[in-house]
Chain A
Amino acid sequence: MDLTPPDATAAAVAAGPAAGGGAVARLAPGPDGLDRDTRCDLRRREKEIARQFHSSSWAYGVFAVCGFAVWLSFFPLAIAGLLNLPLAFVAATALIIAVYLAGHEAMHGNIGRRGEKLYWLNELAGFVSTIPIALSFGAARITHLEHHRHCNDPLKDPDFSDQAPGPLAAWYKTWYNRQPGVDGSVHHYKRVLKNLGTPEATRALYGTLVLQIVFLATLFTMAWTGHAIAAALIWWLPRHLALSWIRFYFSWAPHHPRQGRSGRYDNSRIFRSRLGRVLTFETETHLVHHLYPNIPNHRTRAAYFALKPILAARGVDVSPL
């Protein structure tokens, strides 16, 4: 693949036709050092490559529904005394994270769009995927799409409250943002939905209130009927751990340092985690998701390697991977 890095393009433009600057020499390079023609060409090739990685994501829908059903089955099994609670705690945490991740595909309509055969599965998977974190699918979808639309905008990005100077501060922030008097996490989402004020946002807001009441009523009822430890190990603690994990690897790590990085190619970073690709939900290559949200999660890494020369030419730091 013949790609010219930004500094070389700028040099060619500066050197003029003899150096290969040719027609583009007449156009002033942009802030990225690329002239308009080069940018258009890169974008065209980027789209062609990305198109090869779009594929059906029905398996995410099936996984979300089945994973949710398994997690839900823990409740009657625990009440009946048929569950190993420490093991159920680990499984519940993993399931809540994994089901949310599958639901993320539904937020982008990757399982099925309106009018398509699998639209019902998309909506069902989305609906169940956010129940364990006590957030309505509507709220998760609207705020996530707002995050994509206004990525790293301090005022408009609903996830901006996850900003932190380093990993330790970021882990702390995942917990701090959930405190009752702090305008972060779900509290911030509620405010964003209220400010949007659309009928869809209002429905999503009420859906979240209903789910939070169901969540609390379930915990209170189980607790006062002698199943407090089961409720804590199946829902309360796994939800907290899952939310921290999700906020850290899905929001902080790929978007750090956020401030001033709202461009198409710098709103996410390429990074390498010691935990590897699976435990970080492939967010090491989260930039690809922001560029092409309809590429399913399991293909973003392959798409990244295919797009790597183009991303490098765009000025993305591709050295970590």
Chain B
Amino acid sequence: MEKAVKALFSVMPLLFGIGFIAPLIAQAMAAWDWPAPFGLSHVAFGLAVGGLWGLYANIRGRWI
């Protein structure tokens, strides 16, 4: 159990990027009527940004 929790928290920035940042970006863009670039849907764009940002935070240990 402890190992599973540790494993979960070790990738938490990536999960947070996908689980929260991605839909937040998508819904904020939709709310302000901003089109996503490259013909992507809001969700796909959110997942790309949130996923990459989460991965960066996971590797570097900082969000910025």
Interface residues of A (CB under 8 A from B): 176, 179-182, 209, 212, 216, 219-220, 223-224, 226, 228-229, 231-232, 236
Bound CA–CA A227/B42 (angstroms): 15
Question: Which residue of B12, B22, B24 contacts A232 across the interface (Cβ within 8 Å)?
Answer: B24
Q: What are the 8 A-B residue pairs with the smallest beta carbon separation, nearest first? A: A181-B61, A220-B19, A223-B23, A228-B24, A228-B23, A228-B27, A179-B62, A219-B20
Task: Determine if A216 and B16 form an interchain contact, defined as CB atoms under 8 angstroms apart.
Answer: yes
Which residue, A179, A223, A231, has most C-beta atoms of chain B within 10 A? A223
Task: Determine if B31 and A216 form an interchain contact, defined as CB atoms under 8 angstroms apart.
Answer: no
Which residues of chain A are near B52, meaning CB under 8 Å?
none
26 contacts between A and B (CB under 8 A): A176-B62, A179-B61, A180-B12, A180-B58, A180-B62, A180-B63, A181-B60, A182-B61, A182-B62, A209-B5, A216-B12, A216-B15, A216-B19, A219-B20, A220-B20, A223-B23, A223-B24, A224-B23, A228-B20, A228-B24, A228-B26, A228-B28, A229-B27, A229-B31, A231-B20, A236-B20
Which residues of chain A are near B19, meaning CB under 8 Å?
216, 219-220, 223-224
Q: Who on chain B is nearest to A176 by CB?
A: B62
Chain A nearest CB, measured from B33 CB (Å): 14
Bound CA–CA A268/B16 (angstroms): 37
Q: Does B51 contact A (CB under 8 A)?
A: no
Contact size class for B?
Answer: 20 to 34
Which residues of chain A are near B5, meaning CB under 8 Å?
209
Task: Say what secondary structure dominates the interface of chain B.
Answer: helix
Using an 8 Å CB-CB cutoff, how does the interface string of B1-45 with A read, 1 for contact, 0 for none? 000010001001101100110111011100100000000000000
Chain A nearest CB, measured from B4 CB (Å): 11
Chain B nearest CB, measured from A279 CB (Å): 27
Which residues of chain B are near A180, meaning CB under 8 Å?
12-13, 57-58, 61-63
Chain A nearest CB, measured from B18 CB (Å): 9
Which residues of chain B are near A219, meaning CB under 8 Å?
19-20
Task: Determine if A229 and B24 form an interchain contact, defined as CB atoms under 8 angstroms apart.
Answer: yes
- Check A226/B27 contact, CB under 8 A, given A216-B16, A216-B19, A219-B19: yes
Bound CA–CA A244/B57 (angstroms): 20
- Check A181/B62 contact, CB under 8 A, given A229-B27, A229-B28: yes
Bound CA–CA A223/B24 (angstroms): 7
Which residues of chain B are near A236, meaning CB under 8 Å?
20
Q: A181-B61, A181-B62, A228-B28 are in contact. List 19 more A-B contacts (CB 8 A).
A: A179-B62, A179-B63, A180-B12, A180-B58, A180-B63, A182-B61, A212-B9, A216-B15, A223-B19, A223-B20, A223-B23, A223-B24, A223-B27, A228-B23, A228-B26, A228-B27, A229-B27, A229-B31, A236-B20
